Amino acid sequence: ENNAKMAGSAGAAADVSDLDRRYSFHPFTMLAEHERSGPPLVISRGSGVHLEDVTGRRFIDAMAGLWCVNVGYGRDELANAMRDQAATLSYCHAFSSMASDMPAVLSARLIEMAPSAASSPMSKVFFGNSGSDANDTQVKLVWYYNNVLGRPQKKKIIARSRGYHGVTVMSAGMTGLPGLHAGFDLPLPHILHTTAPHRLWEGHGMSDEAFTAKLVDDLEQLIAREGADTIGAMIMEPVMGAGGVIVPPRGYYAAIQDVLARHDILLIADEVICGFGRLGHMFGCDALDIRPDLITVAKGLTSAYYPLSGCIVSEPVWETIVKGGEHYGAFGHGYTYTAHPIAAATALANLDLIASENMVERAGAMGAYLHERLADAFDDHPLVGEIRGFGLIGAVEFVARRDTPRAFDPALKVAPRIVAAMIERGVISRALPNADTIAFSPPFIIGKREIDAVVHAARDAADSVMQDLESAGAW
Ligand code: PMP
């Protein structure tokens, strides 16, 4: 109560901001600048698609937090599920065969809904706490699997440039963004990167067929160079999120999956953003016809009301992992919070809500409207290199030259400035790293008028930043 009073009392806004500036160590932040200037926003409430800061300003959250608050803020159904579970059974571990009811029910529900090929149905769920730790677990599963199969050299993991898979020592390495490696001695050995299916920079002007052929050729060459017998798995987001909202060309996944199957390389689908409806389908794998061996889920599983992630393992992989007991004894991996009952109860309530309110269809319909409006607002813009998206995820990438694409000097901070100007206009978006891209990934419950407001703020903000740059003679 004291804490609430402290954060909520009149005149406390400046105090809270100052506490944060002095004592909080922020992720993905210019630390010295934060220590000097403090947070640009201190949020204290959320409801529906809106966030409110400590001074009472309201914003549309066009990013659903970090692509995760899919059912929107403040849903009683989820708050009640969390409170009830905390009162009934606040914690139970899952080590040494111990189980509790909610995670068991959730596992069954995830296996029932998970995308799977007839030849390799999904079989088991291993719970974690974040997308990063789940992707770390996936790497350990691939290594363990190949050790059990007696091929200890088959350990390398292929990821894609601009892919985002998290920040733990393995998952940060798999993430194909230089800013996550610099200063941390990453990537560790065993990690390879192949070309991003990013048409603007890797396949400008190419047909889907030609671009797919180029990407497949890059992958084949990498595999030939390293040796297929040294490569255990490839990890992919169906639609890449944080690396730029990148939708691969038609035919890409069919071709890539052929290559992987030929070389006996497992496919890990990182569904952390796409999973549970973001693309207008329950999973990105459904939307893009991907048949993975392992699936990573997080974010939308609980709409971020409670931390929870999962590794969904297919039957053939599971059958091998089970045999590991003969070599290694009990499976030596797991977290204190694996199969947390409050997390599982939250996920079940969240999945109920998504189903009862037809939110997957709604995400698809609102996504179509978002893309229409983004095209209206930005198609003719001289400094827009590409408008991208799929379902309720979209992005606009700004470039200094459009015909033969040329990026802005990163020092100009074009996208971060546009995002700052959008905040002044009441809309929270995100500038993605490594390019001048602004992203849109709102809660599924967003309405058309709110989408209009988001797109209008984006265009208006872009115009004002471009004018400033032009009058400063920036290019
Ligand atoms: N994979 C993907 C596709 C993600 O978008 C993210 C988070 N943005 C992660 C993994 C890592 O998840 P977390 O931040 O929960 O560790």
The DSSP code sequence of 417-467 is HHHHHHHHTTEE-EEETTTTEEEE---TT--HHHHHHHHHHHHHHHHHHHH
Residues 223 and 334 in one domain: yes
Quick: pLDDT tens for 246-264: 999 999 999 999 999 999 9
Identify the pLDDT of residue 120. 82
Atom of ligand 1 nearest to the CA of 129: 15
**Sheet strands (E) in 27-178:** 43-47, 50-53, 58-61, 122-128, 156-160
> Once rounded to an integer, what is the mean pLDDT over residues 24-41?
96
Report if residue 155 sits inside a domain.
yes
pLDDT value for 334: 98
Q: Which residues contact 52 (CB under 8 A, 6 or more apart)?
A: 43, 44, 45, 46, 58, 59
> Which CATH number does the domain housing residue 396 bear?
3.90.1150.10
Does residue 18 form part of some domain?
no
β-pair partners for 126: 311
What pLDDT does 156 receive?
Answer: 98
Q: Tell which one of 273, 279, 430 to mutate to probe ligand 1, the residue whose CB is within 8 A of the most ligand atoms.
A: 273
Which of 315, 333, 356 lies at the terminal end of a domain, its last residue?
356
Q: Is 265 helix (H, G, I), strand (E, B) or coil?
A: coil
Q: Which residue has the tokens 């309530």?
A: 349
Mutate to test the pocket of ligand 1, among 70, 157, 246, 272 (most ligand atoms within 8 A of CB): 272
Q: What is the pLDDT of residues 47-59, one digit of tens each?
A: 999 999 999 999 9
217 and 107 inside one domain: yes
**Domain closes at, from 356, 379, 408:** 356
Q: Which helix (H) or strand (E) holds 385?
A: strand 384-389
pLDDT single digits (tens) 321-378 = 999 999 999 999 999 999 999 999 999 999 999 999 999 999 999 999 999 999 999 9
The mean predicted confidence, pLDDT, of the chain is: 96
The SS3 assignment for 169 reads: helix
Instruction: Tell whether 316 and 367 lie within a shared domain.
Output: no
Give the integer Cα–Cα distance in Å for 430 and 392: 15
Helices (H), 24-113: 31-37, 64-67, 76-88, 101-113
Each residue of 78-108: pLDDT tens digit? 999 999 999 999 999 999 999 999 999 999 9
pLDDT tens-digit profile of 383-415? 999 999 999 999 999 999 988 899 999 999 999
Based on the domain organization, do 412 and 463 belong to the same domain?
yes
Domain, as residue range, for 390: 40-71+358-471
Structural domain includes residue 10: no
- 276, part of any domain: yes
What tens digit of pLDDT does each residue of 432-462 get? 987 899 999 999 999 999 999 999 999 999 9
Three-state secondary structure call for residue 13: helix
What is the predicted pLDDT for the residue at 430? 97
- 325 and 390 in one domain? no
Q: Above 90 in pLDDT, residue 62?
A: yes
Nearest protein Cα to ligand 1, atom 13:
131
**C-alpha–C-alpha distance, residues 60 and 177, integer Å:** 28
The number of distinct structural domains making up the chain is 2
Residue 294: strand pairing partners? 268, 313
What pLDDT shows up at residue 10? 47
Assigned domain for 22 exists: no
Q: Which of 312, 331, 356 is the last residue of a domain?
A: 356
| CA 240 to ligand 1: nearest atom | 3
Residue nearest to atom 12 of ligand 1 (CA): 131
- Shared-domain flag, residues 272 and 234: yes
Residues 349 and 370 in one domain: no
Q: Is residue 169 part of a domain?
A: yes
- CA of 428 relative to ligand 1 center, distance in Å: 19
The predicted structure's pLDDT at residue 2: 57
| pLDDT(475) > 90 | no
Q: What integer is the mean pLDDT of 230-246? A: 98
Ligand 1 pocket test, candidate residues 237, 278, 299, most atoms within 8 A of CB = 299
H helix or E strand, kind and range, residue 209: helix 208-226
Ligand 1 pocket list (CB less than 6 A): 66, 130-132, 135, 164-166, 237, 241-242, 270, 272-273, 298
pTM value > 0.80: yes
Q: What is the CATH number of the domain that holds 210?
A: 3.40.640.10
pLDDT confidence of residue 9: 55
Q: Are residues 331 and 444 in the same domain?
A: no
- Tell whether 44 and 170 lie within a shared domain: no
**Alpha carbon nearest to ligand 1 atom 10, residue:** 165
Q: Name the H helices within 312-447.
A: 315-328, 341-356, 359-378, 414-424
Portion of the chain with pLDDT greater than 70, in percent: 97
**CA distance linking residue 122 with residue 442, whole number of Å:** 29
In a domain, 396, yes or no: yes
Q: Is the pLDDT of residue 6 over 70?
A: no
Q: Are residues 173 and 321 in the same domain?
A: yes
Residue 11 is predicted with a pLDDT of: 57
Do 141 and 103 lie in one domain? The reply is yes
Residue-level pLDDT at 5? 54
Does residue 203 sit within a domain? Answer: yes
Q: Which carries the bigger pLDDT value, residue 116 or residue 137?
A: 137
User: Same domain for 313 and 409?
Assistant: no
